[in-house]
Amino acid sequence: MIGKKLLKMASNLITAMLFILLLFTSFLVVFSKITGNEADVFGYQIKTVLSGSMEPGIPVGSIIFVKTSDDPTEFQQNDIITFWTEEQIPVTHRIIEVENGGEQYVTKGDANDRADIHPVLSQDVIGKHTGFTVPYVGYVLNFATSPKGAAILLIVPGLFFVIRSFYIMWGVAQHIARIKNEVPSD
């Protein structure tokens, strides 16, 4: 009896977690497809770190939270900012020098030997790193937002729900059959 209760609780927990994952993935995929860029929730963006230029403070595969700004000239030396490169790739590096009253920033990755070749123009700054970093989740998020990953993360939970529905219907059919066999007919 206890084993069945534990199994049912585990099944319900897995179902709830997969449903939340399905909703979260759906939100990310739909929002990024509609807007053509990454989700900006309450002035924050989640970015994936896929290089080691900011290690050990920000490990490869982490997600970071970036606070977007209305004033891209407000950043100061030692702030960690995320910005667009000329190739339209987001990069997160530390400001080592502010030039022209915040119109340009000289940046450098903490693990790099020298400063970045090109100064960052203020209009290319996405925002400032909040200091909140979650290691390894970036790999999952990067996979989830890829076409193949989004398909897998939407299909697998969907299949689980379909299989679970058939399992529940089978159990109900068996229960009805047992009740039918117990009730004497006239």
Which member of 26, 32, 51, 69 is catalytic? 51
Per-residue pLDDT of the chain (186 residues), as tens digits, is 677 788 788 888 887 887 776 677 666 666 655 555 565 667 788 888 889 999 999 999 888 889 988 888 899 999 999 999 989 889 999 999 999 888 999 999 999 999 999 999 999 999 999 988 888 877 877 777 778 877 787 788 778 888 888 888 998 888 888 888 776 655
Any idea which fold 2-159 has? Answer: Umud Fragment, subunit A (2.10.109)
Catalytic (active site) residue 51: yes
Token readout for 57 is 């403070």
The residues facing 91 across adjacent strands are 83
Evaluate if pTM is beyond 0.85: no
Provide the CB-side half-sphere exposure for 16 (13 A, CA). Answer: 6
For residue range 65-111, what is the model confidence (pLDDT) as tens digits? 899 888 888 999 999 999 999 898 899 999 999 998 889 999 999 99
End-to-end, the C-alpha distance of the chain in Å comes to 35
Start-end of H helices in the chain: 2-35, 137-144, 147-182
Taking the C-alpha atoms of residue 71 and residue 33, their distance in angstroms, rounded to an integer, is 27
Cα 104 versus chain centre, distance: 30
- pLDDT of 32 reads 58
